[in-house]
């Protein structure tokens, strides 16, 4: 079990006060806070090891290269890549860039007029826009699977829309709005049985539950370091090695080449074929400290802690008047994300009231406008939990929501 109160001591920012109130940070689906071990790893790199990697033969360069490549191996182990082969791990700026890489490099090479890309209505814009762009360019089309009233994918509809025209299935593992954990292992098997590839957007799953790319049958998996205790500016793309070797480069420049002549070039081996220029060395190395931190706790433990928090949150929030909760009813069917609306109060107004009490949540369309339209709302408020959150913080959220409802009810009565 996680002792969240003790764990919080590892996170310097959680001792901060906001508007004279202790910080209650419930915006973890957007980005997580960083433990001291990650902050110190970043500081230590710049103070002791700062050098460019791969190109130098001096001590600092070799040390930096070893540390950088060691994190690639840690990632391969963390997601159980086949044979834990680090060459299947590409570093990008974020999950968005990782998906763009697949859309441009794989899609640009393989999609043809009439081909279909199978998506869902619950996708984050990062797993929509790259496919829109490449589909328009190649004459392909995007096809969407709907959700039911509980926030689950309509799997019978998925099976009908998965056809011989489908060239890739791209699905979020967990919704950043509903918290729904999609049956990606089943989806992966269906995709492969149909002879198509399977990309998993793991931005909202890899930080929160055990990940096994072999078990779920992912051909590609994208996620971000900053949502799992790591620094911003680091994303990961896992790809099956034979796919990465067959795809053309995404960016051109230094390091991704093996030979350049006037007018011609040959590409480096994977993964370096996809990492042009000087990468985000310091933040990748600090991401290694975040992986170590999560591994020490255990991802099964992280998931169980979040399930307990979301179970409590659903229970106490549902008791509030005029509240509407979105997503599955059972905590084991979702990650630690709870989206809601309270009466006619706009989510931005709710967020502002909560901020005055030191409580940070997210309000808006959460980069999921098609899903907002499917839910028939303009926006939602969203509280999202992580390993350092406590039931007491949820109690503070509930009390602040009660105050917000009283305040806006008073305003409405005054205006009438």
Tokens for 278? Answer: 């000087």
Residues 6+ apart with CB under 8 A from 414: none
CB 98 within 8 A of CB 238: no
Backbone angles phi, psi at 363, to 5 degrees: -135, 140
Catalytic residue (choose from 18, 37, 276, 367): 367
CB 382 within 8 A of CB 351: no
Q: Please state, in angstroms and rounded to a whole number, the distance separating the CA atoms of residues 223 and 220.
A: 10
Among 333, 334, 396, which Cα is nearest to 361's?
396
In degrees, rounded to 5, the angle at the alpha carbon of residue 409 between the alpha carbons of residues 405 and 410 is 120
CB 131 within 8 A of CB 100: no
- 250 HSE (CA, 13 A, CB side): 24
Dihedral, 230, 233, 234, 240 alpha carbons, nearest 10: 150
- For tokens 């086949």, the residue is 82
Q: Please state, in angstroms and rounded to a whole number, the distance separating the CA atoms of residues 313 and 335.
A: 12
Tokens for 396? Answer: 């503070």
Q: Is 102 known to be catalytic?
A: no
- Alpha helices by DSSP H, 194-280: 213-216, 241-246
Residue by residue, DSSP assigns 88-136 as GEEEESSHHHHHHHIIIIIIHHH--TT-EEEEETT--GGGTHHHHHHHH
Backbone angles phi, psi at 25, to 5 degrees: -95, 110
Tokens for 127? Answer: 């797993």
Cα of 191 vs its chain's centroid, Å: 22
- Active-site residues: which are they? 367
């Amino acid at each position: 079990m996680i002792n969240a109160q003790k764990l919080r001591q590892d996170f310097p920012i959680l001792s901060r006060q906001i508007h004279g109130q202790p910080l209650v940070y419930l915006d973890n689906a957007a980005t997580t806070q960083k433990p001291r071990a990650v902050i110190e790893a970043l500081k230590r790199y710049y103070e002791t090891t700062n050098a460019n990697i791969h190109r130098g033969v001096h001590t600092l360069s070799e040390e930096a290269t070893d540390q950088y490549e060691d994190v690639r191996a840690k990632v391969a182990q963390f997601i159980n890549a086949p044979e834990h082969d680090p060459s299947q791990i590409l570093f990008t700026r974020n999950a968005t860039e990782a998906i763009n890489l697949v859309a441009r490099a794989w899609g640009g090479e393989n999609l043809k007029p009439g081909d279909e890309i199978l998506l869902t209505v619950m996708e984050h814009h990062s797993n929509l826009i790259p496919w829109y762009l490449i589909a328009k360019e190649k004459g392909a089309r995007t096809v969407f699977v709907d959700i039911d009233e509980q926030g689950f994918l309509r799997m019978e509809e998925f099976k009908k829309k998965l056809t011989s025209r489908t060239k890739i299935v791209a699905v979020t593992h967990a919704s950043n709005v509903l918290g729904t954990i999609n049956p990606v292992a089943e989806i992966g098997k269906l995709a492969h049985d149909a002879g198509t590839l399977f990309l998993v957007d793991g931005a909202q799953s890899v930080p929160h539950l055990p990940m096994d790319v072999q078990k779920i049958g992912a051909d590609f998996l994208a996620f971000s370091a900053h949502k799992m205790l790591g620094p911003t500016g680091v994303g990961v793309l896992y790809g099956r090695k034979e796919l990465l070797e067959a795809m053309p480069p995404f960016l051109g420049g230094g390091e991704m080449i093996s030979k350049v002549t006037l007018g011609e070039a040959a590409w480096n081996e994977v993964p370096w074929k996809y990492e042009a220029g000087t990468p985000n060395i310091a933040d990748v190395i600090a991401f290694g400290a975040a992986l170590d931190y999560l591994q020490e706790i255990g991802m099964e433990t992280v998931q169980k802690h979040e399930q307990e928090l979301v179970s409590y949150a659903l229970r106490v929030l549902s008791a509030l008047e005029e509240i509407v909760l979105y997503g599955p009813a059972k905590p084991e069917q979702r990650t630690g994300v709870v989206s809601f609306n309270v009466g006619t109060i706009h989510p931005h107004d709710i967020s502002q009231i909560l901020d005055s009490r030191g409580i940070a949540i997210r309000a808006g369309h959460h980069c999921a406008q098609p899903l907002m339209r499917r839910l028939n709302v303009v926006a939602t408020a969203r509280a999202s939990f992580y390993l350092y959150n406590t039931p007491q913080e949820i109690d503070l959220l509930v009390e602040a929501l009660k105050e917000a409802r009283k305040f806006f009810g008073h305003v409405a009565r005054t205006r009438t």
